[in-house]
């Protein structure tokens, strides 16, 4: 899916500082989705001593720009890879022959002498023009998240690419100095000596997205067996409305754990701009039934839904499992997307928590089932995460620790964000 990309003219501020800042070509690129109406013409605005030499007559959305060495010109590029040159910037022929863009162009950077430039596409593909040398690309790598920007080294012998999950790819004389500590990254810039780089996140990568959070079980379930044992249709049969859940040897209940993690996750997702829908808003009620838990996410047209649980597994077994739906009819349309969500969730959760993948359930942290009503009846991408094993002493000690529960929430948020921000 092609994302709507637009260049933010105010970003020119980054290159419009004092003369010292212009002693080499400053590179920047920035993209964001849906911030400019499609009908607005692409416009360059200059601030301070930044002169305007023209604006692109792009037929496609303009996504990035880079100035010439002396600041008396600049290039812009649109999402389809069409470059416009202004002032003393020259049109340059592709260094490697013709270019075929398979993914939206998201960034560009000029060489130090302004004799050429590179373009980067969201699939990591690099296109070199003029005296810009091709030093490698991420085009052949299976990316976990789309590339969103690039920065050239001061010597022009290499470049960094950054993906929206904070992943950095270094080529040529660009040195890898670290990566991966941010989500929702939208840009990268090099330090003047090339010894480091900054990455910047959008702050609200989930703006406009609805996420459904389903904390499993409920605090009042044990007190109302008639209600929670009532059978409900789950697409391929009948199952109890809800269950009580498990607890640790210390008596820390799963429903309390699930709700605590859900509150933490809600806060993290809201900070990323998401609209969060909960299947229950306290830990003292009964239910809702599993069919209603699915319906809440469906009715909200959630872009992703996650059920939070902790398992009552074998005492000697550790770890987490992401349970994906198998097709049973009502959920046929979300099997593939739920598998992507699950595949994004496992590494994100493992990275954030250090919790191992389950030693007793599933394969490499993933299990697929057709007997869970909340997954059977979902019409939005959904997984159920057994975040640890409450019966295991090592896992239980972690699950009882508030700091660890925050890491659990971070892991779930990262998996959801990866899913919702990947192409």
Q: Does 362 bind Zn ion (CB under 5 A)?
A: no
Burial class (CB in 10 A: 0-12, 13-18, 19+), 150: buried
Q: How far is the CB of 370 from Zn ion (least distance, A)?
A: 17
Following DSSP, what letter does each residue of 73-91 receive, concatenated?
EEEEEETT--EEEEET---
- In this structure, the dihedral spanned by the alpha carbons of residues 15, 17, 18 and 19, taken in order and rounded to 10 degrees, is 10
**CA–CA separation, 223 vs 218, rounded Å?**
10
What is the distance, to the nearest Å, from the Cα of residue 28 to the centroid of all Cα atoms in its chain?
21
Q: Does 287 bind Zn ion (CB under 5 A)?
A: no
Q: How many CB atoms lie within 10 A of CB 173?
A: 15
Q: Does 325 bind Zn ion (CB under 5 A)?
A: no
**Looking at beta carbons only, is 24 or 309 nearer to Zn ion?**
309
Q: How far is the CB of 261 from Zn ion (least distance, A)?
A: 12
370-409 footprint of Zn ion as x/- string (CB under 5 A): ----------------------------------------
Residue with the two structure tokens 């330090």: 191
Contact region with Zn ion (CB under 5 A), list: 241-249, 260-268, 322-330, 404-412: 241-249
**Looking at beta carbons only, is 206 or 261 nearer to Zn ion?**
261
Q: Does 245 bind Zn ion (CB under 5 A)?
A: yes
Residues near 19 by beta carbon (within 8 Å), at least 6 away in sequence: none
Contact (Cβ atoms closer than 8 angstroms) between residue 142 and residue 162: no
Contact (Cβ atoms closer than 8 angstroms) between residue 418 and residue 209: no
Residue in 81, 216, 219, 411 binding Zn ion, rule: CB under 5 A:
216
Choice among 92, 324, 386, 400 that is catalytic: 386
Q: How far is the CB of 217 from Zn ion (least distance, A)?
A: 6
Contact region with Zn ion (CB under 5 A), list: 18-26, 77-85, 110-118, 304-312: 304-312
Residue in 30, 69, 309, 382 binding Zn ion, rule: CB under 5 A:
309
**Looking at beta carbons only, is 78 or 247 nearer to Zn ion?**
247
Q: Does 239 bind Zn ion (CB under 5 A)?
A: no
Q: How far is the CB of 248 from Zn ion (least distance, A)?
A: 13
Residue with the two structure tokens 């829908």: 277
Q: How far is the CB of 378 from Zn ion (least distance, A)?
A: 16
**Looking at beta carbons only, is 187 or 216 nearer to Zn ion?**
216
Contact (Cβ atoms closer than 8 angstroms) between residue 319 and residue 389: yes
Supply 322's token pair. Answer: 């992401």
Q: How many residues bind Zn ion (CB under 5 A)?
A: 3
Largest CA distance in the chain: 79
Contact (Cβ atoms closer than 8 angstroms) between residue 302 and residue 211: yes
**Looking at beta carbons only, is 103 or 323 nearer to Zn ion?**
323
Following DSSP, what letter does each residue of 88-127 receive, concatenated?
T-----BTTS----SS-EEEEEE-TTSSEEEEEETTS-EE
Residues near 142 by beta carbon (within 8 Å), at least 6 away in sequence: none
Please identify the residue of the shown chain whose CB is closest to the bound Zn ion.
309
Contact region with Zn ion (CB under 5 A), list: 38-46, 65-73, 114-122, 214-222: 214-222
**Looking at beta carbons only, is 165 or 247 nearer to Zn ion?**
247
Cis peptide bond N-terminal to 288, omega within 30: yes
Q: Does 183 bind Zn ion (CB under 5 A)?
A: no
Tell me, yes or no, if 247 is annotated catalytic.
no
User: Residue 264 forms beta bridges with which residues?
Assistant: none
Contact region with Zn ion (CB under 5 A), list: 10-18, 153-161, 216-224, 364-372: 216-224
Contact region with Zn ion (CB under 5 A), list: 147-155, 269-277, 306-314, 337-345: 306-314
Q: Does 313 bind Zn ion (CB under 5 A)?
A: no
**Looking at beta carbons only, is 152 or 383 nearer to Zn ion?**
383
Residue with the two structure tokens 């250090």: 354
**CA–CA separation, 145 vs 150, rounded Å?**
14
**Looking at beta carbons only, is 116 or 313 nearer to Zn ion?**
313
Residues at the interface with Zn ion (CB under 5 A): 216, 245, 309
Supply the residues annotated as catalytic: 386
């Amino acid at each position: 899916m092609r994302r709507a990309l637009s260049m933010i003219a105010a970003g020119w501020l980054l290159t419009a500082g004092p003369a010292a800042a212009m002693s080499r070509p400053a590179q920047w690129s920035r993209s964001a989705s849906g911030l400019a109406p499609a009908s607005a013409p692409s416009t360059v605005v200059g601030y301070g001593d930044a002169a305007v030499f023209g604006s692109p007559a792009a037929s496609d959305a303009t996504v990035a720009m880079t100035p010439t060495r002396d600041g008396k010109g600049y290039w812009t590029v649109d999402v389809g890879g069409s470059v416009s040159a202004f002032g003393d910037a020259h049109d340059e022929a592709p260094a490697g022959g013709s270019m075929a863009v398979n993914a939206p162009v998201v960034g560009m950077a000029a060489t130090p002498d302004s004799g050429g430039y590179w373009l980067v596409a969201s699939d990591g593909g690099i296109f070199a023009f003029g005296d810009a040398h091709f030093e490698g690309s991420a085009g052949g790598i299976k990316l976990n998240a789309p590339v969103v920007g690039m920065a050239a080294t001061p010597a022009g012998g290499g470049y960094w690419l950054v993906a929206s999950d904070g992943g950095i790819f270094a080529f040529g004389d660009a040195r890898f100095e670290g990566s991966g500590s941010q989500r929702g990254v939208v840009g990268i810039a090099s330090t003047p000596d090339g010894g480091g780089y900054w990455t910047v996140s959008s702050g609200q990568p989930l703006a406009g997205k609805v996420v459904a959070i389903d904390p499993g079980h409920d605090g009042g379930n044990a007190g109302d067996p008639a209600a929670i044992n009532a059978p409900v249709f789950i697409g391929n049969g009948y199952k109890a409305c809800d269950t009580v859940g498990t607890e640790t040897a210390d008596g820390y209940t799963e429903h309390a754990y699930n709700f605590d993690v859900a509150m933490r996750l809600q806060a993290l997702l809201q900070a990323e701009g998401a609209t969060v829908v909960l299947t229950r808003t306290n830990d003292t009620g009964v239910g809702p039934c599993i069919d209603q838990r699915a319906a809440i996410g469906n009715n909200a047209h959630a872009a992703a839904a996650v059920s939070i649980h902790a398992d009552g597994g074998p005492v000697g077994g550790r770890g987490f499992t992401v349970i994906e739906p198998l097709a049973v009819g009502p959920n046929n349309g979300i099997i593939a997307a739920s598998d992507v969500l699950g595949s994004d969730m496992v590494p994100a959760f493992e990275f954030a928590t250090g919790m191992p993948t389950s030693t007793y359930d599933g394969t490499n942290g993933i299990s697929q089932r057709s007997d869970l009503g909340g997954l059977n009846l979902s019409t939005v991408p959904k997984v159920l995460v057994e975040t640890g094993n409450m019966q295991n002493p090592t896992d239980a000690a972690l699950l009882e620790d508030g700091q660890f529960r925050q890491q659990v929430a971070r892991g779930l948020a990262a998996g959801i964000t990866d899913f919702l921000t990947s192409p």
